[in-house]
Amino acid sequence: MENEKENLFFEPHKRGLMKTPLKESTAANIVLADIQPDFGPLTTPTKPKEISQGEPWTPTANLKMLISAVSPEIRNRDQKRGLFDNRNGLSDVKDCLHEHFSGDEYEKSQPSRKEKSLGLLCHKFLARYPNYPNPAVNNDICLDEVAEELNVERRRIYDIVNVLESLHMVSRLAKNRYTWHGRHNLNQILGTLKSVGEENKYAEQIMMIKKKEYEQEFEVGKSYNTEDPIIKSNTGQNGHPDMCCAERPGVELRAASVNSRKDKSLKVMSQKFVTLFLVSTPQIVSLEIAAKILTWEDHVEDLDRSKFKTKIRRLYDIANVLSSLDLIKKVHVTEERGRKPAFKWTGPEISPNPSVSGLSPVLPCAASDLEARQSSKENCAKNLFSTRGKPNFTRHPSLIKLVKSIESDRRKINSAPSSPIKTHKAESTQNSVPFRSKMAQLAAICKMQLEEQSSEPRKNVTVQLAGSGHCQSVAPLDTPANAEPEMMAPSLIQPLGVVPLLPSPLSPAVPVILPQTPSGTSYAIYLQPAQAQTITPPPGLSPTVCPTTSSNAMISEDSTDATGENADSDAPKSSVSTRPGSLLPGPERQGAKNREREPAREKGSKRASMLEDSGSKKKFKEDQKAPENVSTTLFPSGYLIPLTQCSTLGAESILSSNENSGTLSPNHSIYSSPIAVTPLKLMVSPTSMAAVPVGHSPALSSSHPLPIQNPSSAIVNFTLQHLGLISPGVQVSTSPGPGTIAVSPRIEAVSVTPENAGAEQGRATKCDASILSQNQTNGQSFAGTGAQQPVPVTPKGSQPVAESFFRTPGGPTKPTGSPCMDFDGANYTSVGTLFVPQRKLEVSAEDVH
DNA sequence: ACCTCCCGCCATTCA
DNA sequence: TGAATGGCGGGAGGT
């Protein structure tokens, strides 16, 4: 097994290094050419139509097929992975071949467009890895390898990986290489996204959009163009929100290029999209709305039909991946206007980050805080603040820099030492059997696998894990073991403290450190003081949702993985009982809902002035800790950066806890470090940030220049300072805001289509156990980074990961230096157990077409 | 005719 | 400079 694993890993590397091999189309072609003879019909045959047409296959298709056929390795690997059973393998393959040869049959076998869908591909991809991989083991993913095995262009793999990365399910190690984290960090990140989304008032934005649309329809009938009132309103003086930041003279700029690329990044879109689900009450988001929000966050100016269409395309891409993950499901929403496609969240209910996964036993204080928050959050959730302003999502230039620097750092890190060990998961072990057969049809196999998985696993979650060949082996291992230990990690717990954050005059963005999830990962969020806008409570619309049987639905259904995962997760949780306390549904929810808001103070921020005005309306929410004002102002997007766990302890503990820990640790650190920082463009209200208790040691707080214990915090501070984001004297005003406005989002009552209905509804009840996990998180704190100097934090020896981060050079001014970067890896390692039991209702399963 | 969204060109970014 | 990434949108499959 190990050997095999090694092989897998190595090969990928080699491939990557050697060739550039596979670059899909072009390179691939070349490669293929050589290979082709061998191939034959195997893999996913190309489109039937083409064949029928006279042209059997497109060159690309041929290549793909050939490749698949050719490389026994791939097949072997797949087999190893358990993608398909033996039976599937040979016999199936033969069948496939046969079919290929025979015309009609062949055509049938040919993959239809659906068969090539990103969703299906994602399923295949996911089938290769356990939901809860053992952290100890290296779960390397070589893109080239995956692309080959799945017989797809690398481009497609990027799409999948980017989305997964946005959910911290994978992190980038180096070129061509990613580490698979599975769902260990999923709840955490979702909690974080939810928190951010709440703070940003995404829900409000959604409502506004709906309202606007509603109004427009009746009135003018304008499409969502720039003319859209909403958009207009959003746009600042400049014309569009984003511009504000960018245009600011002093700011460097964000090179448009940089921004543009990053901003439009699929990762960012993915996070935003997910956030929309998390914050919206019905948890149903139509593509149109999502596209509008995303579009306008970007550059309003760009908003034109074509851009909008592009956004929609991307959202479909993302939605397909999310569907494969069983996080969302396609539905149709019927509104006054008519019916439109939408997606419903079918993932775990998440509590806002702070509480998220849990850290275990948190300090009492924390707990109390959490509760308070939660309660408040709930309120919020129920009543969205109806502030009228419109939030801008624009991103501050500083953020851009940050991002850039981060990325550069990340790359550096990644590129460096990545060679890890690769122990693949257990899977490889199982599949050791080398299949020589040429069956090329990976596609067929995949399908079969999927089917199998879907059929079996769902019902028995546990069973699947063990039994199914596919993913199987691995998953079980990880979950149980990992989770608990991490949870337990003492390090995580820290006294909560509220850190006052002051926006530096220089840069609007305020960095905030979010509480850590149990995994220990903390996130630093950079907020931009943006223009605050008031949001008017949306008029209620009540759309009805009809279940659609879309391909997506099928996918979701098909994907046993997801279900299996869920089940897995659940099982472990229950068994583990790691954080029983956390499980309290009630609290969780509340926590989620509550968000304290701090007064946004962005004095310095360029936009601040504007914003403030709008911000006048505020809603407050009091936290137990410190009542804070909630300002209505929204901040433009920030980047959510996962910090490595601050506590070295946590990591250690984890390691110790883990079986493998010993071996892993070294590698682990290495891998983890690189994780990507996921840029969130979400808007964050500074206030909210402030509200969050600082998890880490007080030292972390900005005010303390002291060497921080946590590297992460230090890094953050450092980075911020360099960037100028943080002002030395940052303070957060806690003044209570005016009354909060309760808005009832109008969610329309969504009628779920029958398919989902049962399950979905179940899910609808939010408060799942998952929420509980959040509570645990409380211990974590948000640290507002204070301003201080940009002193580069000295890395501590304590954590390897941290060190790596620190090392990243960063010039004070230059963003590059910023340490903050990818902590994912770190998190990942440390985290192991984050999850809270998710509850995924089996709804998805029901959905089948 | 519209909804989806695959495909792959080609700009960026990285090494 | 070439390879790795990934934005982007044409246009085809699906309904």
The percent of residues in chain A predicted with pLDDT above 90, rounded, is 2
- What would the pLDDT profile of A812-841 be if each residue is shown by its tens digit? 333 333 333 333 333 333 332 222 222 222
Give the distance, in angstroms, between residue A307 CA and nucleotide B7 C1': 19
How many Å apart are CA A116 and CA A322, to the nearest integer? 16
Positive or negative torsion for Cα A491, A493, A495, A497: positive
Residue A144 near residue A247, CB atoms below 8 Å: no
Query: Which of the residue ranges A204-218, A320-334, A433-447, A456-470 would you say has the lowest mean pLDDT?
Result: A456-470
Give the distance, in angstroms, between residue A61 CA and nucleotide C15 C1': 25
Average pLDDT over every residue of A160-177: 88
HSE on the CB side for A261, CA within 13 Å? 7
How many Å apart are CA A711 and CA A826, to the nearest integer? 11
Give the distance, in angstroms, between residue A754 CA and nucleotide B13 C1': 47
Model pLDDT, residue A317: 92
Indicate if CB(A58) is under 7 A from strand B.
yes
Average pLDDT over every residue of A615-626: 32
Indicate if CB(A286) is under 7 A from strand B.
no
Residue count (chain A): 849
Most confident of the following: A315-324, A485-494, A551-560, A820-829:
A315-324
Q: Give the residue with minimal CA–C1' separation from C13.
A: A113
For residue A48, give the nucleotide whose C1' atom is nearest its CA.
C13
Give the distance, in angstroms, between residue A828 CA and nucleotide B10 C1': 35
For residue A177, give the nucleotide whose C1' atom is nearest its CA.
C4
Give the distance, in angstroms, between residue A341 CA and nucleotide B3 C1': 9
For residue A155, give the nucleotide whose C1' atom is nearest its CA.
C6
* Max CA distance (Å), chain A: 76
Q: What is the identity of the amino acid at A15? A: R
Model pLDDT, residue A145: 84
How many Å apart are CA A85 and CA A78, to the nearest integer? 10
Give the distance, in angstroms, between residue A89 CA and nucleotide B5 C1': 30
Among A76, A72, A66, which residue's Cα sits nearest to residue A31? A66
Model pLDDT, residue A29: 31
Q: For residue A262, name the pLDDT band (cuts at 50, 70, 90).
A: low
Structure tokens at A385: 């603040």
Q: Give the residue with minimal CA–C1' separation from B4.
A: A316
For residue A286, give the nucleotide whose C1' atom is nearest its CA.
B3
Indicate if CB(A405) is under 7 A from strand B.
no
Among A658, A667, A335, which residue's Cα sits nearest to residue A519? A658
Model pLDDT, residue A336: 64
Q: Give the residue with minimal CA–C1' separation from C10.
A: A310
Give the distance, in angstroms, between residue A306 CA and nucleotide C11 C1': 14
Model pLDDT, residue A113: 80
Give the distance, in angstroms, between residue A285 CA and nucleotide C7 C1': 24
Average pLDDT over every residue of A433-452: 36
HSE on the CB side for A669, CA within 13 Å? 18
Indicate if CB(A118) is under 7 A from strand B.
yes
Residue A466 CB burial class (10 angstroms; 0-12, 13-18, ≥19): exposed
Give the distance, in angstroms, between residue A296 CA and nucleotide C1 C1': 38
Model pLDDT, residue A274: 87
Average pLDDT over every residue of A608-628: 32
For residue A58, give the nucleotide whose C1' atom is nearest its CA.
B7
Among A442, A365, A391, which residue's Cα sits nearest to residue A681? A391
Residue A135 has pLDDT above 60, yes or no: yes
Which spans in A724-842 are helix H?
754-764, 769-777, 800-807, 824-831
In a domain, A720, yes or no: no
Nucleotides of B under 7 A from a protein CB: 3-9, 12-15
Residue A232 CB burial class (10 angstroms; 0-12, 13-18, ≥19): middle
Give the distance, in angstroms, between residue A797 CA and nucleotide B3 C1': 55
Average pLDDT over every residue of A436-458: 37
Residue A640 near residue A272, CB atoms below 8 Å: no
In a domain, A221, yes or no: no
In a domain, A744, yes or no: no
Residue A783 has pLDDT above 70, yes or no: no
| Cβ contacts, strand C, under 7 angstroms | A 16, 19-23, 27, 47, 49-50, 112-114, 143-144, 154-155, 158, 161-162, 174-177, 260-262, 264-267, 306-307, 309-310, 313-314, 551
Structure tokens at A813: 């001014």
Structure tokens at A500: 């006052």
Query: Which of the residue ranges A45-49, A169-173, A362-366, A367-371 would you say has the lowest mean pLDDT?
Result: A362-366
For residue A269, give the nucleotide whose C1' atom is nearest its CA.
C7
- What would the pLDDT profile of A575-608 be if each residue is shown by its tens digit? 333 332 332 233 333 333 333 333 333 333 333 3
Indicate if CB(A113) is under 7 A from strand B.
yes
Residue predicted with more confidence, A335 or A672: A335
The residues near A503 (Cβ < 8 Å, ≥ 6 apart) are A509, A510, A527, A529, A600, A601, A602, A603, A604, A605, A608, A686, A725, A726, A727, A730
Tell me which residue has tokens 């894990």.
A465
The percent of residues in chain A predicted with pLDDT above 70, rounded, is 21
How does DSSP assign A396-410, residue by residue? -HHHHHHHHHHHHHH
Give the distance, in angstroms, between residue A462 CA and nucleotide B11 C1': 47
Residue A392 near residue A531, CB atoms below 8 Å: yes
Residue A803 has pLDDT above 70, yes or no: no
Residue A301 CB burial class (10 angstroms; 0-12, 13-18, ≥19): middle
Q: For residue A144, name the pLDDT band (cuts at 50, 70, 90).
A: confident
- What would the pLDDT profile of A44-90 be if each residue is shown by its tens digit? 333 333 333 323 333 333 433 443 333 333 333 333 333 333 333 33
Nucleotides of C under 7 A from a protein CB: 2-15
Which spans in A349-425 are helix H?
364-382, 397-415
Structure tokens at A223: 């499409």
Give the distance, in angstroms, between residue A426 CA and nucleotide B7 C1': 35
How many Å apart are CA A480 and CA A568, to the nearest integer? 9
Among A145, A135, A198, A164, which residue's Cα sits nearest to residue A16? A145
In a domain, A430, yes or no: no
Question: Is residue A283 left, alpha or beta, with left meaning phi > 0 and alpha meaning psi from -120 to 50?
Answer: left
Q: Which domain holds residue A191?
A: 118-216+261-345
Q: Give the residue with minimal CA–C1' separation from B8.
A: A25
Indicate if CB(A407) is under 7 A from strand B.
yes
Indicate if CB(A307) is under 7 A from strand B.
no
In a domain, A192, yes or no: yes
Q: Give the residue with minimal CA–C1' separation from B14.
A: A411
Residue A516 has pLDDT above 70, yes or no: no
Indicate if CB(A313) is under 7 A from strand B.
yes
- Quote the Cα angle for A135-A141-A142, to 5°: 155
In a domain, A523, yes or no: no
Q: H/E/C letters for each residue in A516-575? A: CCCCCCEEEEEECCCCCCCCCCCCCCCCEEEECCCHHHHHHHHCHHHHHHHHHHHHHHHH
- Quote the Cα angle for A580-A472-A318, to 5°: 80
Give the distance, in angstroms, between residue A409 CA and nucleotide B15 C1': 14
The residues near A798 (Cβ < 8 Å, ≥ 6 apart) are A648, A711
Residue A186 near residue A102, CB atoms below 8 Å: no
Query: Which of the residue ranges A45-54, A193-202, A310-319, A442-451 would you say has the lowest mean pLDDT?
Result: A45-54
How many Å apart are CA A676 and CA A825, to the nearest integer? 8
Give the distance, in angstroms, between residue A24 CA and nucleotide C4 C1': 11
Tell me which residue has tokens 């890190």.
A413
In a domain, A51, yes or no: no
Model pLDDT, residue A318: 92
Give the distance, in angstroms, between residue A261 CA and nucleotide B13 C1': 10
Query: Bridge partners of A142?
Result: A177
Average pLDDT over every residue of A373-387: 30
Give the distance, in angstroms, between residue A702 CA and nucleotide C4 C1': 38
User: Which segments of A439-509 are extended strands (E)?
Assistant: 497-498
The residues near A365 (Cβ < 8 Å, ≥ 6 apart) are A495, A496, A693
Give the distance, in angstroms, between residue A627 CA and nucleotide C7 C1': 44
Give the distance, in angstroms, between residue A125 CA and nucleotide B10 C1': 26
Tell me which residue has tokens 């009938």.
A221
What average pLDDT does chain A have? Answer: 44
For residue A27, give the nucleotide whose C1' atom is nearest its CA.
C3
Which whole-number Å values give the CA distances from A287 to A146, A292, A297, A546, A750, in the listed order? Answer: 29, 8, 15, 15, 16
Indicate if CB(A337) is under 7 A from strand B.
no
Give the distance, in angstroms, between residue A412 CA and nucleotide B8 C1': 29
Number of domains in chain A: 1
Q: Give the residue with minimal CA–C1' separation from B9.
A: A25
Residue predicted with more confidence, A669 or A209: A209
pTM for this model (two decimals): 0.46
Positive or negative torsion for Cα A189, A591, A496, A348: negative
Indicate if CB(A415) is under 7 A from strand B.
yes
Q: What is the dihedral of CA A357, A359, A363, A365, to 10 degrees?
A: -10
For residue A112, give the nucleotide whose C1' atom is nearest its CA.
C13
Indicate if CB(A112) is under 7 A from strand B.
no
For residue A20, give the nucleotide whose C1' atom is nearest its CA.
C3
Residue A132 has pLDDT above 70, yes or no: yes
Average pLDDT over every residue of A750-760: 36
Give the distance, in angstroms, between residue A131 CA and nucleotide B4 C1': 28
Give the distance, in angstroms, between residue A314 CA and nucleotide C6 C1': 12
In a domain, A609, yes or no: no
